[in-house]
Structure 1
């Protein structure tokens, strides 16, 4: 490759005149005189300081304390920072120094000055900005939300003649099937054409029942077996128990013998926890609690006569509700009676069933019995010592160690028929009413009023039951319709530490009731004050004298001898 070279040439004259610098004297070319008036023509620029960095700016705030200027000082790091001339190990030297320091006027002035500065810091720390969002990033323990429940399905009784849904039972394996017991409990209102069958419904099939349970007498209660969902036990209106095996057909596989069965309608049945899974219990208004083994329905395994506990003339109490829970103890049973009293029964092996407590019986130290039958008894699934009863126009909360109610709801304008605790939230329970409304109580949120009231039906609600997972609730009415409701997350998901807080609330109410009972006993044990009976009227002396003085004081008369006294009354009445 060839390399080329280019040469550029230019003459000197084309560069122009060359520079030639010489030192010369300075001379004034022009002069401008100072004129301050011209300064008004200009605007003075404000001095701006601009700092650019990547550090966030912080401004002084009302809640910030004043800055403290620190300074390093030498101190002996022993107790109190004693001066060098004081031996801190000698108690006499330190005591003398303290006394001398306390008498020093400068010490008192220093303490007062430090106190003023401390008060100012405390006041600054306590200052609150009304426009600042405090605790913005913190999450509350329990935030009340808008509670809702949505109707999912309606299961209507296919029979022409209307019957009430007396009991509802959920399938133990999930919200897939429900069994409804249909009957007419109004006395002598059952016609000859009244259908006898009850039905099992599939949640996903709402038009036609999945299975029909046939019987010669209407079923008042029916429940699935927790171990084998193909087995059911049902109590009839005529007092006979029916044992169903769905694998064998819709008719009862076994029936209890008439001789050993109940004399009145069987109002409630429960399956018991056993190795075979064949044991159950039933209660009726005939005043008997019977225990069965479904493999041999011709006889009862045990029996308990429900009485008021009077040794001389015991009265039979008809049972209308039954509660049993494995967590509370396999031997403990709660029975709600027709007289508004709840009975606690104990069934021990190889011993007769005993009645231990009569909750609400006044003759046994209790109070607060319902004015009508106890239609429902339900234990709290998280705190099994506490249970809920429903009767007349209110719900009452009880504790096993107390014979009186611990808490109760306000009286409703309509009659209550049933109640059920939420299986997932310790402080939530549901109540069905005869005006067609379903009320939800949330004791974790508030105890003085209902958290949610839902209109479910135009007819009286007769029964309800919550599914084991807590997401669905089935409600039956007097026209034979079962309404399936889906609960919102606020009624299903437990709040943080809800179980412990509800337990503390129950313990607090229990202690309060025990203290009141103790005060009542102490006040009843005191000696009565002096009393005088005048014509059958009991007069307390201190109370009478106080009222007498108050009366004469109101009319403007004072003195110790005014009016009469009890001695005069006693003398005038002939010493009575």
Structure 2
């Protein structure tokens, strides 16, 4: 039972409002300590106690249930007409349709069905609370302002390259990012497989071919050999499985005939797949005429029927194939250098290949196991098909690619650095700083000239923008605890990175890195001018340094030759002095012997004379 008593009092009974004023302090109570109790006081040691004012939080992960989605199609054929109506005659069909449309039952049925359809259609009219409704106006205003700024500076003066660089730097520093959209997990869960290669569908970018093999190309018994084609909008299940007779180490879409794919296998053979004819390969090469080691890279080359491919391996062979007859390659070359003036002689193992038809249809850029990048000319009339060699890496080169805007410059990735070369010099024009871990792959951006990507062994993806910074990457993303083996870019907007645990990360780049605004690609004329000036400046600097190195080398050789000539002269003078000394010693010895012989003869003569006198 609850008892409540209310106290009621009128406002006038509260009393006057208190007023406070400052006064001098006065002592009210002075309490002295008791001596007997003070003797019992014992001071304690200092004690520090930490108190956390914020609540403790724990990180937890929840994996939602995965639903399997499937695609179904229906083929509708014309039918259901009465027997007195011939579907092949249009006039009979039209008369029957007009008669049915006038039927009241047909009208009522159509009205009832339209009400149901309208009800369910309106259910999809949901409001997107995250949609930005006024982005177009803001973008247009920013474009107008940027256009006005780039057209002329205050005072009617045109902007310089410095202003353009500053605008690019400001754009990069504001919103640079690489966002992971989804992750494709390997269907094989019993054995860990590594992603060995990636290839985008050449046209739409919605399909991604992924090849899998054992980590470090090891031979594993009873391993799943399938590779897959993934739909980027369905990460739960691959769209198509590719079934070879050996695990694929590389794969590539045909740029013209998109249903065709070529794959290089662990046993050195090639497999041709046609997505229109199912999962199994339509043809494959014979082992006795193929590579002796795993195929590290394969590429389609330009031909009249788009049916020729080239493959390389660390066995030093470069094979050219016609997919209509994979029994034997129609051309075979060795990646071998015989000329002594190229800095290296011997056979080289190919690991990375780049073929760019906009540069040449007969020249191939090859990265080798020896850390040498070389240009292979298929139509060279010389016996040595390797025209040029480029040095600098301390280990195998895992990726090479020409810049899509400036073909004479190319990127190579190996050991701890990524290097940019010019065809005119053997040494790199520019290079990244040495990283603490190995670099495994890399490529250029097809939409921005100064942007390129590198993957590392610790699972990180680095996005470099050389207009912004040459010392460190603009964006660095940790994607996996395993090494990232390969990377491929589609249209400059989307990235795919394959890891050693069999996962493929699908990423989207921000607008400043992809150069896309509202889905439209922006011009890069100013960036091309700035990058070209930068590369030409570095090229001129390297030429000057190279000329200085050559001059120092000539001076050193000249000094060595003069030193050797001087030593030869000293040796000749020393030898002459020794010979002269020996000659004098011989003459002295000869004179000494002659003197003693004369003395002895005189002694003998005097003895004989004395003996004769004594006898007389």
- TM-score, length of structure 2 as denominator length: 0.61
Task: Establish whether residue 337 from structure 1 lines up as the match of residue 368 from structure 2.
Answer: yes
d(CA) in 2 for partners of 1:211, 1:351? 45
Alignment partner of 1:520 is 2:549: yes
Equivalent position of 2:76 in the other structure: none
Q: Tell me which of 325, 341, 356 is aligned to 1:325.
A: 356
Counterpart of 1:307 (choices 336, 339, 348) is 336
Q: Which of the numbers 297, 317, 324 marks the counterpart of 1:268? A: 297
Aligned-partner SS, 2:425: coil
SS at match of 2:212: strand
Change (3 A) 1:246 1:407: same
Report deviation, 1:311.
6.6
Match of 2:265 in 1: 236
* Partner in structure 2 of residue 482 of structure 1: 504
The answer on whether the counterparts of 2:292 and 2:315 sit within 8 Å (CA) in structure 1 is yes
1:164 CA displacement? 0.9
Structure 1 residue aligned with 2:463: 440
1:416 and 1:434 in contact (8 A); partners too: yes
Tell me the CA shift for residue 150 of structure 1.
0.9
Matched, 1:457 2:480: yes
1:131: which partner in 2?
none
Q: Is residue 336–residue 384 contact of structure 2 (8 Å, CA) maintained in 1?
A: no
- Is residue 2:536 matched to residue 1:507? yes
Task: Give the deviation of 1:356 after TM superposition.
Answer: 0.6
Q: Does 1:170 align with 2:200?
A: yes
1:389 aligns to what? 412
Q: Matches of 1:146 and 1:328 in 2, distance apart?
A: 34
Q: CA deviation digits over 1:172-228, x for unaligned, max 9? A: 0122100011112426x4321211111100011110011111011100000100001
Deviation at 1:315, TM superposition (A): 2.6
1:357-414 residue CA offsets vs partner (Å, 9 max, x unmatched)? 1211xxxxxxx2x221111111111111111111111111111111111111111111
Q: Which of the two has greater helix per residue?
A: 2
Runs ≥4 residues deviating over 3 A:
134-141, 310-314, 349-353, 529-533
1:524/1:532 Cα in 2 relative to 1: closer, same or farther (>3 Å)?
closer
1:425 and 2:448 are equivalent in the alignment: yes
C-alpha displacement at 1:529, in angstroms? 8.2
Counterparts of 1:341 and 1:352 in 2: how far apart (Å)? 20
What is the 5 A alignment of 1:367-386?
Answer: 368=392, 370-386=393-409
| 1:253 correspondence with 2:282 | yes
Paired residue secondary structure (2:211): strand
Q: 392-401 or 473-482, which moves further after superposition?
A: 392-401
Aligned to 1:288: 317
SS of alignment partner, residue 151 of structure 1 = strand
Is 1:348 paired with 2:371? no
Shift of 1:135: 6.3
- Report the Cα offset of residue 335 of structure 1: 1.1
Change (3 A) 1:507 1:208: same
- Is 2:186 the partner of 1:157? yes
What does residue 79 of structure 2 align with? none
Supply the distance in 2 between the matched residues of 1:403 and 1:198 (Cα, whole angstroms): 39
Tell me the TM-score normalised to structure 1 length.
0.65
Shift of the 529–203 alpha-carbon distance from structure 1 to 2, 3 Å rule, reads closer
| Equivalent in the alignment of 1:209 | 238
Check whether the contact 2:338–2:384 (CA below 8 A) recurs between aligned residues: no
TM superposition shift of 1:508: 1.3
CA contact (8 A) 2:175 2:510 kept: no
1:225 equivalent to 2:254? Answer yes
Q: Distance in 2 between matches of 1:530 and 1:241?
A: 55
> For the residues of structure 1 that align with 2:223 and 2:282, how far apart are their CA atoms?
23
Conservation of the 8 A alpha-carbon contact between 2:463 and 2:476: yes
The CA deviation at 1:254 is 1.0
CA deviations over 1:449-492 (Å, ceiling 9, x no partner): 2111111112111110000x211000010000000000000001
Match of 1:472 among 491, 494, 498: 494
User: Per-residue displacement from partner, 1:18-62 (whole Å, max 9, x unpaired)?
Assistant: xxxxxxxxxxxxxxxxxxxxxxxxxxxxxxxxxxxxxxxxxxxxx
Give yes or no for contact 2:207–2:232 (8 Å, CA) kept in 1: yes
